[in-house]
Amino acid sequence: MNKFWESNLEKLPQDVREIVIKTIKHNRWRRYETINLIASENVMSPLAEAAYLSDMMHRYAEGKPFKRYYQGTIYVDEIETKTSEFMGELLGGAYVDPRPVSGTTANAAAFRVLAECGSKAVIAPVQAGAHVSHTKFGTLGALCIEHIELPYDEENLNVDIDKAVKLIESIKPKFAVLGGSVYLFPHPVREIADAIHSVGGRLVYDAAHVLGLIIGKRWRNPLDYGADVVTSSTHKTFPGPQGGIIASRDRDLFKKIGRAIFPLFVSNHHLHRLPALAITALEMKHYGELYADQIVRNAKTLAEALAAEGFKVLGENLGYTKSHQVVIDVRSEGGGAKSAILLEKANIIVNKNLLPYDPPDAIKDPSGLRLGVQEMTRFGMKEEDMKIIAKFIARVLKKREDPTKIAQEVKSYRRDYIEVKYCFELNPIDDGKLYLLF
Protein backbone atom coordinates (compact mmCIF):
# COMPACT_ATOMS: atom_id res chain seq x y z
CA MET A 1 0.00 0.00 0.00
CA ASN A 2 1.48 3.40 -0.92
CA LYS A 3 2.16 6.31 1.41
CA PHE A 4 -0.88 8.31 0.29
CA TRP A 5 -3.34 5.62 1.40
CA GLU A 6 -1.38 4.72 4.51
CA SER A 7 -1.75 8.28 5.78
CA ASN A 8 -5.37 8.80 4.74
CA LEU A 9 -7.31 5.54 5.11
CA GLU A 10 -8.07 5.99 8.79
CA LYS A 11 -9.76 9.31 8.06
CA LEU A 12 -12.41 7.61 5.92
CA PRO A 13 -15.73 6.08 7.05
CA GLN A 14 -15.55 2.32 7.57
CA ASP A 15 -17.67 1.37 4.53
CA VAL A 16 -15.66 3.67 2.28
CA ARG A 17 -12.42 2.31 3.70
CA GLU A 18 -13.49 -1.26 2.88
CA ILE A 19 -14.12 -0.36 -0.76
CA VAL A 20 -10.76 1.38 -1.06
CA ILE A 21 -8.92 -1.51 0.58
CA LYS A 22 -10.57 -4.08 -1.70
CA THR A 23 -9.70 -1.98 -4.74
CA ILE A 24 -6.08 -1.75 -3.63
CA LYS A 25 -6.03 -5.51 -3.02
CA HIS A 26 -7.42 -6.11 -6.50
CA ASN A 27 -4.81 -3.84 -8.06
CA ARG A 28 -1.98 -5.47 -6.16
CA TRP A 29 -3.15 -9.01 -6.94
CA ARG A 30 -3.95 -8.63 -10.63
CA ARG A 31 -1.16 -6.22 -11.49
CA TYR A 32 1.75 -7.64 -9.52
CA GLU A 33 0.97 -11.17 -8.33
CA THR A 34 -0.81 -13.04 -11.14
CA ILE A 35 0.00 -14.32 -14.59
CA ASN A 36 -2.86 -12.89 -16.60
CA LEU A 37 -3.72 -14.92 -19.71
CA ILE A 38 -7.15 -13.44 -20.43
CA ALA A 39 -7.04 -12.92 -24.19
CA SER A 40 -9.25 -9.82 -24.14
CA GLU A 41 -7.29 -7.74 -21.62
CA ASN A 42 -4.19 -5.58 -21.51
CA VAL A 43 -2.68 -2.67 -19.60
CA MET A 44 -1.98 0.89 -20.67
CA SER A 45 1.40 2.52 -20.34
CA PRO A 46 2.08 4.84 -17.39
CA LEU A 47 1.81 7.85 -19.71
CA ALA A 48 -1.50 6.71 -21.18
CA GLU A 49 -2.84 6.04 -17.68
CA ALA A 50 -1.81 9.54 -16.65
CA ALA A 51 -3.72 11.01 -19.57
CA TYR A 52 -6.71 8.81 -18.78
CA LEU A 53 -6.93 10.27 -15.25
CA SER A 54 -7.81 13.73 -16.52
CA ASP A 55 -10.66 16.19 -16.08
CA MET A 56 -12.06 14.98 -19.40
CA MET A 57 -13.71 12.08 -17.60
CA HIS A 58 -16.22 14.58 -16.17
CA ARG A 59 -17.14 16.35 -19.43
CA TYR A 60 -19.56 16.00 -22.32
CA ALA A 61 -18.99 16.47 -26.05
CA GLU A 62 -22.00 15.18 -27.98
CA GLY A 63 -21.62 15.24 -31.74
CA LYS A 64 -18.44 15.54 -33.80
CA PRO A 65 -15.37 17.74 -33.32
CA PHE A 66 -16.05 21.44 -33.89
CA LYS A 67 -19.77 20.66 -34.29
CA ARG A 68 -20.72 20.02 -30.67
CA TYR A 69 -23.94 20.49 -28.77
CA TYR A 70 -21.96 21.60 -25.70
CA GLN A 71 -19.43 24.37 -25.14
CA GLY A 72 -16.10 23.88 -23.41
CA THR A 73 -14.70 21.33 -25.88
CA ILE A 74 -11.95 23.34 -27.59
CA TYR A 75 -9.19 20.99 -26.41
CA VAL A 76 -11.29 17.86 -26.67
CA ASP A 77 -12.02 18.64 -30.32
CA GLU A 78 -8.32 18.92 -31.11
CA ILE A 79 -7.44 15.71 -29.27
CA GLU A 80 -10.28 13.74 -30.85
CA THR A 81 -9.25 14.90 -34.32
CA LYS A 82 -5.63 13.92 -33.68
CA THR A 83 -6.71 10.55 -32.27
CA SER A 84 -8.63 9.79 -35.46
CA GLU A 85 -5.68 10.85 -37.58
CA PHE A 86 -3.18 8.74 -35.65
CA MET A 87 -5.36 5.63 -35.74
CA GLY A 88 -6.12 6.15 -39.43
CA GLU A 89 -2.43 6.36 -40.23
CA LEU A 90 -1.74 3.14 -38.33
CA LEU A 91 -4.47 1.39 -40.33
CA GLY A 92 -2.97 2.36 -43.67
CA GLY A 93 -5.00 5.42 -44.52
CA ALA A 94 -8.47 4.92 -43.09
CA TYR A 95 -11.15 7.19 -41.74
CA VAL A 96 -11.46 6.37 -38.04
CA ASP A 97 -14.21 7.26 -35.58
CA PRO A 98 -13.14 6.79 -31.93
CA ARG A 99 -16.54 7.58 -30.39
CA PRO A 100 -17.90 4.04 -29.83
CA VAL A 101 -17.45 3.25 -26.14
CA SER A 102 -16.87 -0.45 -26.88
CA GLY A 103 -16.31 -2.85 -29.73
CA THR A 104 -19.90 -4.01 -29.32
CA THR A 105 -21.14 -0.44 -29.74
CA ALA A 106 -19.00 -0.14 -32.86
CA ASN A 107 -20.59 -3.32 -34.23
CA ALA A 108 -24.07 -2.04 -33.46
CA ALA A 109 -23.55 1.19 -35.40
CA ALA A 110 -22.14 -0.64 -38.42
CA PHE A 111 -24.83 -3.33 -38.43
CA ARG A 112 -27.61 -0.74 -38.09
CA VAL A 113 -26.45 1.09 -41.22
CA LEU A 114 -25.80 -2.01 -43.33
CA ALA A 115 -29.09 -3.83 -42.79
CA GLU A 116 -32.64 -3.22 -41.75
CA CYS A 117 -34.83 -5.30 -39.45
CA GLY A 118 -35.62 -8.64 -41.07
CA SER A 119 -32.46 -8.72 -43.21
CA LYS A 120 -29.94 -11.55 -43.20
CA ALA A 121 -26.28 -11.51 -42.13
CA VAL A 122 -23.72 -14.33 -42.24
CA ILE A 123 -21.26 -14.85 -39.39
CA ALA A 124 -18.70 -17.37 -38.21
CA PRO A 125 -20.18 -20.10 -35.97
CA VAL A 126 -20.48 -19.22 -32.28
CA GLN A 127 -18.52 -22.30 -31.19
CA ALA A 128 -15.80 -21.33 -33.65
CA GLY A 129 -15.25 -17.96 -32.08
CA ALA A 130 -17.86 -15.42 -33.20
CA HIS A 131 -18.38 -12.71 -30.61
CA VAL A 132 -21.80 -12.60 -28.98
CA SER A 133 -22.46 -9.19 -30.57
CA HIS A 134 -22.37 -10.90 -33.98
CA THR A 135 -25.27 -13.16 -33.07
CA LYS A 136 -28.99 -13.38 -32.45
CA PHE A 137 -28.13 -13.59 -28.76
CA GLY A 138 -26.56 -10.12 -28.87
CA THR A 139 -26.49 -7.09 -31.14
CA LEU A 140 -27.83 -8.75 -34.30
CA GLY A 141 -30.79 -10.02 -32.31
CA ALA A 142 -31.41 -6.61 -30.78
CA LEU A 143 -31.52 -5.14 -34.29
CA CYS A 144 -33.76 -8.04 -35.44
CA ILE A 145 -31.29 -9.04 -38.13
CA GLU A 146 -31.26 -12.77 -38.84
CA HIS A 147 -27.90 -14.41 -38.19
CA ILE A 148 -26.90 -17.34 -40.41
CA GLU A 149 -23.71 -19.21 -39.63
CA LEU A 150 -21.08 -19.68 -42.29
CA PRO A 151 -19.96 -23.28 -42.91
CA TYR A 152 -16.94 -24.19 -40.81
CA ASP A 153 -13.87 -26.27 -41.57
CA GLU A 154 -13.11 -27.93 -38.22
CA GLU A 155 -9.82 -29.43 -39.41
CA ASN A 156 -8.44 -26.02 -40.38
CA LEU A 157 -10.25 -24.11 -37.60
CA ASN A 158 -11.60 -21.63 -40.09
CA VAL A 159 -14.44 -20.69 -42.41
CA ASP A 160 -14.96 -23.24 -45.19
CA ILE A 161 -14.37 -20.97 -48.17
CA ASP A 162 -16.09 -22.95 -50.94
CA LYS A 163 -19.21 -23.68 -48.90
CA ALA A 164 -19.31 -20.14 -47.57
CA VAL A 165 -19.20 -18.62 -51.04
CA LYS A 166 -22.07 -20.85 -52.19
CA LEU A 167 -24.12 -19.92 -49.12
CA ILE A 168 -23.58 -16.20 -49.70
CA GLU A 169 -24.52 -16.50 -53.36
CA SER A 170 -27.65 -18.43 -52.40
CA ILE A 171 -29.10 -16.28 -49.61
CA LYS A 172 -27.67 -12.87 -50.62
CA PRO A 173 -27.14 -11.43 -47.12
CA LYS A 174 -26.79 -7.71 -46.52
CA PHE A 175 -23.43 -8.20 -44.86
CA ALA A 176 -20.94 -10.76 -43.60
CA VAL A 177 -18.94 -10.59 -40.37
CA LEU A 178 -15.44 -11.99 -39.97
CA GLY A 179 -13.18 -11.81 -36.94
CA GLY A 180 -13.97 -13.27 -33.56
CA SER A 181 -13.14 -13.78 -29.94
CA VAL A 182 -11.51 -17.20 -30.35
CA TYR A 183 -9.17 -16.53 -33.16
CA LEU A 184 -6.05 -18.53 -33.94
CA PHE A 185 -5.69 -18.05 -37.70
CA PRO A 186 -6.62 -15.31 -40.20
CA HIS A 187 -10.04 -15.58 -41.77
CA PRO A 188 -10.32 -15.65 -45.60
CA VAL A 189 -11.05 -11.94 -46.01
CA ARG A 190 -10.45 -11.60 -49.75
CA GLU A 191 -12.60 -14.59 -50.69
CA ILE A 192 -15.52 -13.61 -48.46
CA ALA A 193 -15.26 -9.96 -49.51
CA ASP A 194 -15.46 -10.92 -53.19
CA ALA A 195 -18.44 -13.17 -52.53
CA ILE A 196 -20.43 -10.66 -50.46
CA HIS A 197 -19.68 -7.84 -52.90
CA SER A 198 -20.94 -9.99 -55.78
CA VAL A 199 -24.42 -10.01 -54.21
CA GLY A 200 -24.39 -6.33 -53.28
CA GLY A 201 -23.47 -6.80 -49.63
CA ARG A 202 -20.71 -5.53 -47.39
CA LEU A 203 -18.00 -7.11 -45.27
CA VAL A 204 -17.54 -6.11 -41.62
CA TYR A 205 -14.34 -7.26 -39.97
CA ASP A 206 -14.30 -7.30 -36.18
CA ALA A 207 -10.63 -6.74 -35.36
CA ALA A 208 -11.07 -6.40 -31.60
CA HIS A 209 -8.64 -9.17 -30.72
CA VAL A 210 -6.04 -8.58 -33.41
CA LEU A 211 -5.92 -4.79 -33.83
CA GLY A 212 -2.49 -4.58 -32.23
CA LEU A 213 -1.21 -7.39 -34.45
CA ILE A 214 -2.58 -5.63 -37.54
CA ILE A 215 -0.94 -2.36 -36.57
CA GLY A 216 2.24 -4.27 -35.71
CA LYS A 217 2.18 -5.86 -39.18
CA ARG A 218 1.91 -9.42 -37.89
CA TRP A 219 -1.69 -9.88 -39.09
CA ARG A 220 -3.31 -8.97 -42.38
CA ASN A 221 -4.95 -5.57 -42.53
CA PRO A 222 -8.50 -6.48 -43.59
CA LEU A 223 -8.93 -3.11 -45.32
CA ASP A 224 -6.23 -4.19 -47.78
CA TYR A 225 -8.16 -7.36 -48.59
CA GLY A 226 -11.62 -5.99 -49.28
CA ALA A 227 -13.26 -5.34 -45.91
CA ASP A 228 -15.63 -2.38 -46.10
CA VAL A 229 -15.68 -1.67 -42.38
CA VAL A 230 -13.36 -2.59 -39.53
CA THR A 231 -14.75 -2.45 -36.01
CA SER A 232 -12.61 -2.95 -32.96
CA SER A 233 -12.13 -2.51 -29.27
CA THR A 234 -8.94 -0.74 -28.19
CA HIS A 235 -7.73 -2.75 -25.20
CA LYS A 236 -6.69 -6.25 -26.27
CA THR A 237 -3.59 -6.71 -28.43
CA PHE A 238 -3.87 -2.96 -28.93
CA PRO A 239 -2.99 -1.84 -25.37
CA GLY A 240 -5.13 1.26 -25.00
CA PRO A 241 -8.08 2.29 -22.83
CA GLN A 242 -11.27 0.27 -22.93
CA GLY A 243 -13.38 1.55 -25.81
CA GLY A 244 -14.03 1.07 -29.51
CA ILE A 245 -13.35 2.42 -32.98
CA ILE A 246 -14.82 2.15 -36.46
CA ALA A 247 -12.58 2.38 -39.53
CA SER A 248 -13.26 2.45 -43.27
CA ARG A 249 -11.74 3.70 -46.50
CA ASP A 250 -15.21 4.31 -47.96
CA ARG A 251 -15.90 7.95 -47.06
CA ASP A 252 -19.64 7.85 -47.78
CA LEU A 253 -20.19 4.65 -45.80
CA PHE A 254 -18.04 6.04 -42.98
CA LYS A 255 -20.20 9.14 -42.76
CA LYS A 256 -23.40 7.08 -42.62
CA ILE A 257 -22.06 4.97 -39.79
CA GLY A 258 -20.91 8.10 -37.99
CA ARG A 259 -24.49 9.39 -38.02
CA ALA A 260 -25.57 6.13 -36.39
CA ILE A 261 -23.02 6.29 -33.58
CA PHE A 262 -24.56 9.51 -32.31
CA PRO A 263 -27.40 9.76 -31.49
CA LEU A 264 -28.46 6.11 -31.89
CA PHE A 265 -25.88 4.29 -29.76
CA VAL A 266 -23.68 6.82 -27.97
CA SER A 267 -24.41 10.15 -26.33
CA ASN A 268 -21.25 11.27 -24.54
CA HIS A 269 -18.34 9.08 -25.57
CA HIS A 270 -16.20 9.09 -22.38
CA LEU A 271 -13.73 11.77 -23.37
CA HIS A 272 -10.87 10.72 -21.09
CA ARG A 273 -10.40 7.74 -23.42
CA LEU A 274 -9.25 10.02 -26.23
CA PRO A 275 -5.86 11.29 -25.01
CA ALA A 276 -5.04 7.82 -23.67
CA LEU A 277 -5.95 6.31 -27.04
CA ALA A 278 -3.90 8.92 -28.92
CA ILE A 279 -0.83 8.28 -26.76
CA THR A 280 -1.19 4.51 -27.19
CA ALA A 281 -1.46 4.99 -30.96
CA LEU A 282 1.80 6.94 -30.99
CA GLU A 283 3.46 4.31 -28.81
CA MET A 284 2.30 1.62 -31.23
CA LYS A 285 3.69 3.66 -34.11
CA HIS A 286 7.12 3.51 -32.44
CA TYR A 287 7.03 0.10 -30.74
CA GLY A 288 4.11 -1.78 -32.31
CA GLU A 289 6.08 -4.03 -34.62
CA LEU A 290 8.45 -5.17 -31.88
CA TYR A 291 5.52 -5.75 -29.54
CA ALA A 292 3.39 -7.66 -32.06
CA ASP A 293 6.33 -9.80 -33.13
CA GLN A 294 7.02 -10.82 -29.53
CA ILE A 295 3.32 -11.56 -28.93
CA VAL A 296 3.19 -13.95 -31.86
CA ARG A 297 6.43 -15.68 -30.90
CA ASN A 298 5.29 -16.01 -27.29
CA ALA A 299 1.94 -17.50 -28.26
CA LYS A 300 3.53 -20.12 -30.48
CA THR A 301 6.06 -20.99 -27.80
CA LEU A 302 3.36 -21.31 -25.14
CA ALA A 303 1.34 -23.61 -27.41
CA GLU A 304 4.34 -25.82 -28.13
CA ALA A 305 5.31 -25.94 -24.46
CA LEU A 306 1.78 -26.92 -23.40
CA ALA A 307 1.74 -29.66 -26.02
CA ALA A 308 5.07 -30.90 -24.68
CA GLU A 309 3.48 -31.05 -21.21
CA GLY A 310 0.81 -33.39 -22.58
CA PHE A 311 -2.06 -30.98 -23.24
CA LYS A 312 -4.27 -31.21 -26.29
CA VAL A 313 -3.60 -27.89 -28.00
CA LEU A 314 -5.86 -27.00 -30.90
CA GLY A 315 -4.36 -26.31 -34.31
CA GLU A 316 -1.39 -28.69 -34.10
CA ASN A 317 -1.51 -29.43 -37.84
CA LEU A 318 -1.39 -25.68 -38.55
CA GLY A 319 1.37 -24.70 -36.14
CA TYR A 320 -1.04 -24.10 -33.24
CA THR A 321 -1.56 -20.33 -33.65
CA LYS A 322 -0.70 -17.20 -35.59
CA SER A 323 -2.35 -14.81 -33.14
CA HIS A 324 -1.94 -13.95 -29.47
CA GLN A 325 -4.20 -16.84 -28.48
CA VAL A 326 -3.70 -20.47 -27.54
CA VAL A 327 -6.67 -22.81 -27.10
CA ILE A 328 -6.47 -26.09 -25.20
CA ASP A 329 -8.93 -28.94 -24.74
CA VAL A 330 -9.06 -29.78 -21.03
CA ARG A 331 -11.81 -32.40 -20.97
CA SER A 332 -9.35 -34.96 -19.60
CA GLU A 333 -8.34 -32.45 -16.90
CA GLY A 334 -11.93 -32.01 -15.68
CA GLY A 335 -13.34 -29.49 -18.16
CA GLY A 336 -13.03 -25.79 -18.73
CA ALA A 337 -14.91 -24.53 -15.69
CA LYS A 338 -13.02 -26.62 -13.15
CA SER A 339 -9.67 -25.98 -14.80
CA ALA A 340 -10.14 -22.21 -14.86
CA ILE A 341 -11.03 -22.16 -11.15
CA LEU A 342 -8.02 -24.29 -10.19
CA LEU A 343 -5.70 -22.05 -12.17
CA GLU A 344 -7.13 -18.92 -10.55
CA LYS A 345 -6.29 -20.41 -7.16
CA ALA A 346 -2.74 -20.70 -8.49
CA ASN A 347 -2.74 -17.00 -9.52
CA ILE A 348 -3.00 -17.90 -13.22
CA ILE A 349 -5.98 -16.14 -14.78
CA VAL A 350 -7.63 -17.73 -17.84
CA ASN A 351 -11.16 -18.18 -19.13
CA LYS A 352 -13.17 -21.27 -19.96
CA ASN A 353 -14.28 -21.38 -23.58
CA LEU A 354 -16.40 -23.32 -26.04
CA LEU A 355 -14.47 -25.35 -28.58
CA PRO A 356 -15.67 -25.88 -32.17
CA TYR A 357 -17.09 -29.30 -31.37
CA ASP A 358 -18.92 -28.21 -28.20
CA PRO A 359 -22.72 -27.89 -28.29
CA PRO A 360 -23.92 -24.32 -27.62
CA ASP A 361 -25.50 -25.32 -24.31
CA ALA A 362 -22.07 -26.33 -22.97
CA ILE A 363 -21.22 -22.70 -22.32
CA LYS A 364 -21.31 -23.11 -18.51
CA ASP A 365 -18.79 -25.95 -18.60
CA PRO A 366 -17.15 -26.06 -22.01
CA SER A 367 -14.30 -28.28 -23.10
CA GLY A 368 -11.67 -25.63 -23.46
CA LEU A 369 -9.54 -22.85 -22.08
CA ARG A 370 -8.59 -19.74 -24.05
CA LEU A 371 -5.20 -18.22 -23.25
CA GLY A 372 -3.74 -14.92 -24.46
CA VAL A 373 -0.14 -13.79 -24.08
CA GLN A 374 -0.44 -10.09 -24.95
CA GLU A 375 -0.47 -8.69 -21.39
CA MET A 376 2.40 -10.80 -20.12
CA THR A 377 4.33 -9.81 -23.24
CA ARG A 378 3.56 -6.20 -22.36
CA PHE A 379 5.26 -6.78 -19.01
CA GLY A 380 8.39 -8.08 -20.72
CA MET A 381 7.94 -11.84 -20.79
CA LYS A 382 9.53 -13.76 -23.66
CA GLU A 383 9.79 -17.31 -24.96
CA GLU A 384 11.55 -18.85 -21.96
CA ASP A 385 8.89 -17.39 -19.68
CA MET A 386 6.18 -19.09 -21.77
CA LYS A 387 7.83 -22.45 -21.12
CA ILE A 388 7.78 -21.77 -17.39
CA ILE A 389 4.10 -20.73 -17.55
CA ALA A 390 3.30 -24.00 -19.33
CA LYS A 391 4.97 -25.90 -16.48
CA PHE A 392 2.97 -23.96 -13.89
CA ILE A 393 -0.24 -24.88 -15.73
CA ALA A 394 0.77 -28.52 -16.03
CA ARG A 395 1.57 -28.74 -12.32
CA VAL A 396 -1.93 -27.52 -11.50
CA LEU A 397 -3.97 -29.43 -14.08
CA LYS A 398 -1.84 -32.49 -14.84
CA LYS A 399 0.10 -33.21 -11.66
CA ARG A 400 -2.65 -31.91 -9.34
CA GLU A 401 -0.26 -30.04 -7.11
CA ASP A 402 -1.69 -27.72 -4.45
CA PRO A 403 -2.65 -24.56 -6.38
CA THR A 404 -2.17 -22.32 -3.33
CA LYS A 405 1.47 -23.42 -3.18
CA ILE A 406 1.95 -22.66 -6.84
CA ALA A 407 0.25 -19.28 -6.31
CA GLN A 408 3.16 -18.25 -4.08
CA GLU A 409 5.64 -19.32 -6.75
CA VAL A 410 3.73 -17.36 -9.39
CA LYS A 411 3.69 -14.31 -7.14
CA SER A 412 7.45 -14.57 -6.70
CA TYR A 413 7.97 -15.06 -10.43
CA ARG A 414 5.98 -11.92 -11.29
CA ARG A 415 8.34 -9.72 -9.24
CA ASP A 416 10.65 -9.49 -12.24
CA TYR A 417 7.79 -8.49 -14.56
CA ILE A 418 5.97 -5.45 -13.22
CA GLU A 419 7.12 -2.65 -15.54
CA VAL A 420 5.20 -2.01 -18.74
CA LYS A 421 7.33 -2.29 -21.89
CA TYR A 422 6.99 -1.12 -25.52
CA CYS A 423 5.99 2.40 -24.49
CA PHE A 424 7.31 5.88 -23.80
CA GLU A 425 9.08 6.18 -20.48
CA LEU A 426 7.53 8.20 -17.67
CA ASN A 427 9.05 8.63 -14.25
CA PRO A 428 6.11 7.79 -11.99
CA ILE A 429 5.10 9.63 -8.86
CA ASP A 430 5.03 7.70 -5.57
CA ASP A 431 6.64 4.45 -6.67
CA GLY A 432 4.36 3.76 -9.61
CA LYS A 433 1.08 4.00 -7.67
CA LEU A 434 -0.10 7.45 -8.73
CA TYR A 435 0.12 9.30 -12.00
CA LEU A 436 -1.07 12.88 -12.37
CA LEU A 437 -1.02 15.43 -15.19
CA PHE A 438 -1.27 18.65 -13.20
pLDDT value at residue 427: 62
* pTM assigned to the model: 0.95
Between 3 and 371, the higher pLDDT residue: 371
* 12-61 confidence digits (pLDDT tens): 898 988 998 899 899 999 999 999 999 999 999 999 999 999 999 999 99
Torsion of CA 63, 65, 71, 73, to 10 degrees: 130
Would the pLDDT of 146 be above 90?
yes
Indicate the SS3 state at residue 429.
strand
- Domains defined for the chain, CATH in brackets: 50-280 (3.40.640.10)
Task: For the chain, give the mean pLDDT.
Answer: 94
Asked if 381 and 417 count as a contact pair (C-beta separation under 8 A), the reply is yes
pLDDT class for 434, splitting at 50, 70, 90? very low
AA letter at 81: T
Q: Starting at the edge strand that comes first in sequence, how are the strands of the sheet with 351-353 ordered?
A: 312-313, 325-329, 368-372, 351-353
pLDDT value at residue 48: 96
Distance CA(429)–CA(262), nearest Å, equals 38
Indicate the SS3 state at residue 37.
coil
* 164-213 confidence digits (pLDDT tens): 999 999 999 999 999 989 989 999 999 999 999 999 999 999 999 999 99
* 65-116 confidence digits (pLDDT tens): 999 999 999 999 999 999 999 999 999 999 999 999 999 999 999 999 999 9
Of 262, 126, 123, give the one whose Cα is nearest residue 206.
123
* 394-419 confidence digits (pLDDT tens): 999 999 999 999 999 999 999 999 99
pLDDT value at residue 263: 94
Indicate the SS3 state at residue 336.
helix
Q: Taking residues 273-294, what's their average pLDDT?
A: 98
Indicate the SS3 state at residue 129.
coil
* 361-378 confidence digits (pLDDT tens): 888 999 999 999 999 999
pLDDT value at residue 305: 98
Would the pLDDT of 437 be above 90?
no
Would the pLDDT of 2 be above 90?
no
Would the pLDDT of 433 be above 70?
no
